[in-house]
């Protein structure tokens, strides 16, 4: 069933029909498609392009289709080219000939453009909500675990920090992710409805009216651009790519931390799996899957960038490829945010182990050098002295604070009794992270 065919002598090959059809995936846009059509019809009636009576009949028909889809009485499937054909042909079956007036002063090009913008805008706000939920979990986890742990550079123990400070780094990343999405929504917040095929229309339509009805800030400025702009999908995919990159880094940390080599955290049974052969195994599959799915989100971004790169203005069918990429990435992002939220809200931090790692890692070495600087030594010299102490301690399997004062004095006479308090891990934290943060 098609919306076109008048100028054709032969019917379309079945192979072509299957290749061309998008209903299998754009069925997700049914709500936006019907909303877009309703706004269009209200505008046509207001501008007297349709009579009030015609407008009312079409609106009622569209409303009944929406209701039936939502309550399960009408399945969005069958032998239709796309969601737009599905809705229009169903409308014709329901209300008869007047349905044929719905598509006055409109093309499927501006129709699909407005449907997708509405959908992307809405779902972007869903993503923002899921980000906020994850951020709250991160905050709670940090508050509950204001415990000492090693911080790393080059994956080598570096300086003492708290788990709270560590995990709140991801909170900051997610804050930026949220802002990025909201910025993208602001940029895309223009209605393409009324651009028609590419050149607008000679009917006296009111694009400001439909833009307002559909909750857009304004109509787009240029018709050709309006129907062929997919920047907002690409921008959203790029924002999703950054989010999943952050989630992937966090997943990597969780995978490392839950290994016996680190043993800093315990991932709950609810978010772990076992091995079919090795009875002792508990695997961090949830985190691994998030890390793995990063590939598919980056892939969507590259895919759509490539699809769009050689397309002349205005609409070309290539653009139908935008939807599957966006839907796939959206589903992935939403499920990864949810699963990460599950992992973190059930995560246990092994604070004895994180503390022992601090103690074994000479994580107060920088502070010990700062101590000597406070006593008048130049930092470079202090760096060297403490380096020698570390070497000595490694040999004796001791920490700096384990050395008695007379031993320390062998390295520098500037050491005095107050060194122990100065390099105490908690005091270090109080002077550093706590003092410099709100």
Residues whose CB is less than 8 angstroms from the CB of residue 213 and which lie 6 or more positions away in sequence, other chains included? 39, 42, 43
Q: Say whether 103 is catalytic.
A: no
Question: Which part of the chain contacts ligand ARG (CB under 6 A), choosing from 107-115, 166-174, 233-241, 287-295?
Answer: 107-115
d(CA 43, CA 241): 38
Please report how close the Cβ of residue 83 comes to ligand ARG at its closest, in angstroms.
8
Please report how close the Cβ of residue 81 comes to ligand ARG at its closest, in angstroms.
7
Q: Give CA separation, 220 vs 35, 168, 194, 310, in Å.
A: 18, 40, 9, 22
Angle between helices 108-144 and 322-345 (to 10 degrees): 10
The dihedral formed by the CA atoms of 289, 291, 295 and 296, expressed in degrees to the nearest 10: 40
Question: Which part of the chain contacts ligand ARG (CB under 6 A), choosing from 65-73, 104-112, 174-182, 400-408?
Answer: 104-112
Q: Residue 40 corresponds to which tokens in the numbers above?
A: 């269009």
Question: Residue 320 or residue 353: which is nearer to ligand ARG going by CB?
Answer: 320
Please report how close the Cβ of residue 205 comes to ligand ARG at its closest, in angstroms.
19
Question: Which of 11, 51, 275, 383 is flagged as catalytic?
Answer: 275
3-state secondary structure labels for all residues of 196-258: CCCCCCCCCCCHHHHHHHCCCCEECCCHHHHHHCCHHHHHHHHHHHHHHHHHHHHHHHHHHHC
Question: Residue 231 or residue 388: which is nearer to ligand ARG going by CB?
Answer: 231
Please report how close the Cβ of residue 110 comes to ligand ARG at its closest, in angstroms.
9
Question: Residue 23 or residue 43: which is nearer to ligand ARG going by CB?
Answer: 23
Cα 185 from chain centre:
13
Residue for token digits 């959203």? 236
DSSP H helical ranges for 350-398:
351-360, 365-374, 379-396
> Of residues 69, 112, 167, 369, which one binds ligand ARG by CB under 6 A?
112
DSSP H helical ranges for 96-222:
108-144, 163-188, 207-213
Q: Give CA separation, 255 vs 12, 33, 289, in Å.
A: 53, 43, 11
Question: Residue 95 or residue 112: which is nearer to ligand ARG going by CB?
Answer: 112
Q: Say whether 154 is catalytic.
A: yes
Please report how close the Cβ of residue 8 comes to ligand ARG at its closest, in angstroms.
14
Q: Does 109 bind ligand ARG (CB under 6 A)?
A: yes
Question: Residue 206 or residue 324: which is nearer to ligand ARG going by CB?
Answer: 324
Question: Residue 107 or residue 366: which is nearer to ligand ARG going by CB?
Answer: 107
Cα 93 from chain centre:
41
DSSP 42-86: HHHHHTTSS-HHHHHHHHHHHHHHHHHHHTTSS-S-SS-SSHHHH
> Of residues 32, 57, 82, 123, which one binds ligand ARG by CB under 6 A?
82
Please report how close the Cβ of residue 26 comes to ligand ARG at its closest, in angstroms.
6
Q: Does 118 bind ligand ARG (CB under 6 A)?
A: no
Q: Residue 372 corresponds to which tokens in the numbers above?
A: 């000597």
In our burial notation (b when 16+ CB lie closer than 10 A, e otherwise), range 299-333 reads bbbebbeebbeeeeebbeeebbbbbbbbbbbbebb
Q: Does 108 bind ligand ARG (CB under 6 A)?
A: yes
Question: Mask 24-63, x = binds ligand ARG (CB under 6 A)?
Answer: --x-------------------------------------
Q: Does 230 bind ligand ARG (CB under 6 A)?
A: no
Question: Which part of the chain contacts ligand ARG (CB under 6 A), choosing from 11-19, 108-116, 227-235, 259-267?
Answer: 108-116
Of residues 284 through 323, those in contact with ligand ARG by CB under 6 A are 315, 317, 319-320
Q: Does 399 bind ligand ARG (CB under 6 A)?
A: no
Please report how close the Cβ of residue 292 comes to ligand ARG at its closest, in angstroms.
29
Q: Does 228 bind ligand ARG (CB under 6 A)?
A: no
Element containing residue 95 per DSSP (H, E): helix 83-95
Binding site for ligand ARG (CB under 6 A): 22, 26, 82, 108-109, 112, 315, 317, 319-320
User: Which amino acids are annotated catalytic?
Assistant: 154, 275
């Amino acid at each position: 069933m098609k919306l076109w065919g008048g100028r054709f002598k032969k019917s379309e090959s079945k192979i072509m029909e299957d290749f061309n059809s998008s209903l299998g995936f754009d069925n997700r846009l049914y709500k936006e498609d019907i909303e877009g059509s309703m706004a269009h019809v209200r505008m046509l009636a207001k501008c007297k392009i349709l009579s009030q009576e015609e407008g009312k009949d079409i609106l009622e028909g569209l409303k009944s289709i929406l209701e039936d889809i939502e309550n399960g009485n009408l399945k969005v499937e069958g032998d239709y080219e796309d969601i737009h054909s599905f809705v229009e042909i169903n409308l014709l079956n329901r209300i008869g000939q007047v349905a044929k007036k719905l598509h006055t002063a409109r093309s499927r090009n501006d129709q699909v453009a407005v449907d997708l913008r509405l959908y992307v805008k809405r779902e972007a706000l869903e993503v923002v909500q899921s980000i906020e939920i994850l951020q709250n979990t991160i905050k709670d986890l940090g508050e509950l675990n204001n415990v000492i742990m090693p911080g790393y550079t080059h994956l080598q123990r570096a300086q003492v920090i708290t788990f709270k400070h560590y995990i709140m780094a991801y909170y900051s990343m997610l804050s930026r992710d949220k802002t990025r999405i909201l910025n993208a929504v602001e940029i895309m917040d223009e209605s393409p409805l009324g651009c028609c095929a590419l050149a607008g229309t000679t009917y006296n339509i009111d694009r400001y009216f439909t833009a307002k009805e559909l909750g857009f800030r304004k109509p787009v400025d240029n018709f050709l651009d309006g129907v062929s702009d997919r920047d907002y999908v690409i921008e959203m995919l790029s924002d999703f790519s950054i989010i999943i990159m952050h989630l992937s880094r966090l997943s990597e940390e969780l995978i490392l931390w839950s290994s016996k080599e680190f043993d800093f955290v315990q991932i709950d049974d609810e978010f772990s799996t076992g091995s079919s052969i090795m009875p002792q195994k508990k695997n961090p599959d949830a985190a691994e899957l998030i890390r793995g799915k990063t590939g598919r989100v980056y892939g969507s971004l590259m895919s759509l960038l490539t699809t769009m790169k050689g397309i002349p203005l205005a609409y070309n069918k290539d653009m139908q490829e935008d939807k599957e990429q966006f839907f796939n990435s959206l589903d992935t992002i939403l499920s990864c945010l949810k699963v990460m939220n599950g992992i973190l809200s059930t995560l246990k931090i092994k604070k004895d182990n994180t503390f022992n790692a601090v103690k074994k890692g000479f994580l107060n070495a920088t502070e010990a050098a700062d101590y000597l600087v406070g006593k008048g030594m130049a930092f470079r010299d202090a760096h060297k002295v403490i380096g020698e102490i570390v070497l000595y301690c490694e040999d004796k399997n001791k920490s700096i604070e384990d050395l008695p004062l007379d031993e320390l004095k062998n390295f520098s006479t500037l050491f005095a009794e107050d060194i122990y308090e100065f390099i105490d891990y908690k005091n270090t934290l109080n002077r550093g992270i706590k003092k410099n943060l709100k």
